[in-house]
Amino acid sequence: MAVSQSLRLRRGAELEEEPPALRHGDARLPLRASPAALDVLKTLRDGRLDPASLAPQPDLALMVSRLEASGWIARSVVSDSQTLATREPLSFLDVLTRRGLDPKVPVKLSRFAFMHVERGEVVLESGTARSFVVSNDPRLAGLVAALAEPRAANDLDPEALGLARGELEGVLQLLIGAGVVLRLDSETDPELDEPALGQWDPVDLLFHARSRLGRRNPSYGGTYPHRGHFPEPQAIRPEAEDTVALPRPDLDSVAAADPPLTQVIEQRRSIRDQDDEAPIDVRALGELLFRTARITQVLRDDHMSEPFPLRPYPSGGGLYELDVYPVVRLCHGLDRGLYLYDPVAHGLVLRSPPGPMVDGLLDSARVASLRETHPQVLLVITARFGRMNWKYEGVAYALVLKHVGVLYQTLYLVATAMGLAPCGLGGGDSDLFARAAGLDYSAETSVGELIVGSRPEKWTGIPQTS
């Protein structure tokens, strides 16, 4: 059984011959290539290069080594002409782990590693790594499972894994180089014992790495990855027949009565206590929603089938995927229940009457806000994910969370200016909300929560001034 290594240009990379340069998306690397070096680059582009063939030519071997370390070359382990696994670069900076395989030193699967299927391939990746590994052989799943606990290569039984010793060591070397398997040269585990990595959750770190440039493939931003496959999601919901109209504030009067912006910013606080003896009323709730979440203007673009429904807060690409669902327990002039705010008609649409699920949402908010009683009104912020996913690649959900933040701040500042008691919550039950509102969890559900109500007279924070 012959086990070998093979090299090729990374996916998406192109060779420009005159003048010599490598290009990948917006990245371009000019090269001073001799005729022999250009022949090697053509081999990398057109097929697979055996690195052993460069042994008699150290200058060419050094060139290839530098290109591989800087992310321009993918490496595969091949057994009897069949590819076992391939390491694909993500970054163009310090891609390879410096430590190689020592059969006597324990290795283990990174706790940040994830295995999943992408475009019909089994991919092993990690938020700590600047490359990922494509598995082309089902036997490698057994090897990955065997590395859940630290063990030296010499302690692994190739026969039990269905691999030859050369295949086992070749794949282990590839996984270590990619950074999805760690070599433990000391008793400490850097992923657990060092503060920088030990405090990360694996899902959070992978999300951070893949939603920023540097550790992801170049397809990033407004690439419209689903155009032509799925229809463009609606920008504005169809108008409901049973909308309950909300009072509309006079913005000129509001602007004249509001305290200065700097004063509002300085006075903004999270206020958990609410005055149930004098609760928020429908006029105040309507004003809060009108000033923060209504559609202020509808713009159209000849290149897009859907309009851009602008609102008082900023949104990436003008897509405005967020909606607000007030869950009402106590609001003078409004019945209890779960409502959807209609930002066009400025009204509320009842989505769920009082019941166990609505009570469960209020109880979850009570626990999250450290209160003994339920909030008067819980504002649940949802995202219609297709609005972002249809246009954006790599950053869609990251943008959703940023939009939640700016909507939080808008709600906070307006509620403070109105003398209300706002408090953003750190989390909520998206499954329960989707069931309560009758939504498809994958299409739309909650991504943020904020409670609001009347401010107690004896509240001990900074007093509201006129």
User: DSSP characters for 75-127?
Assistant: EEEEETTEEEEEEEE--SSS-S-S----TTSEEEE-TTEEEEEETTEEEEEET
d(CA 338, CA 328): 6
How many residues make up the chain in this entry?
Answer: 466
User: DSSP characters for 384-453?
Assistant: EHHHHHTT-BSSHHHHHHHHHHHHHHHHHHHHHHHTEEEEEES---HHHHHHHHT--TTTEEEEEEEEEE
Query: Can you give the pLDDT at residue 330?
Result: 98
Q: Residue for token digits 């009897």? A: 80
Low-confidence ranges of the chain (pLDDT < 50): 462-466
Helices (H), 334-373: 356-368
Query: Can you give the pLDDT at residue 457?
Result: 83
* Model pLDDT for residues 320-330, shown as the tens digit of each residue: 999 999 999 99
Query: Can you give the pLDDT at residue 396?
Result: 97
Domains of the chain with CATH codes? 3-210 (no CATH), 244-454 (3.40.109.10)
CA quadruple 145, 147, 151, 153: dihedral sign: positive
Query: Can you give the pLDDT at residue 38?
Result: 94
Query: Can you give the pLDDT at residue 460?
Result: 54
Mean pLDDT of the chain: 94
Question: Packing angle between helix 35-46 and helix 58-69, nearest 10 degrees?
Answer: 50
Question: Packing angle between helix 282-293 and helix 396-418, nearest 10 degrees?
Answer: 140
Tokens read off for 104: 């006597």
* Model pLDDT for residues 115-152, shown as the tens digit of each residue: 999 989 999 999 999 999 999 999 999 999 999 999 99
Q: Which of 428, 447, 408 is nearest to 368 (CA)?
A: 428
**What pTM, to 2 d.p., does this model score?**
0.91
Query: Can you give the pLDDT at residue 466?
Result: 32
Q: Residue for token digits 């003398």? A: 419
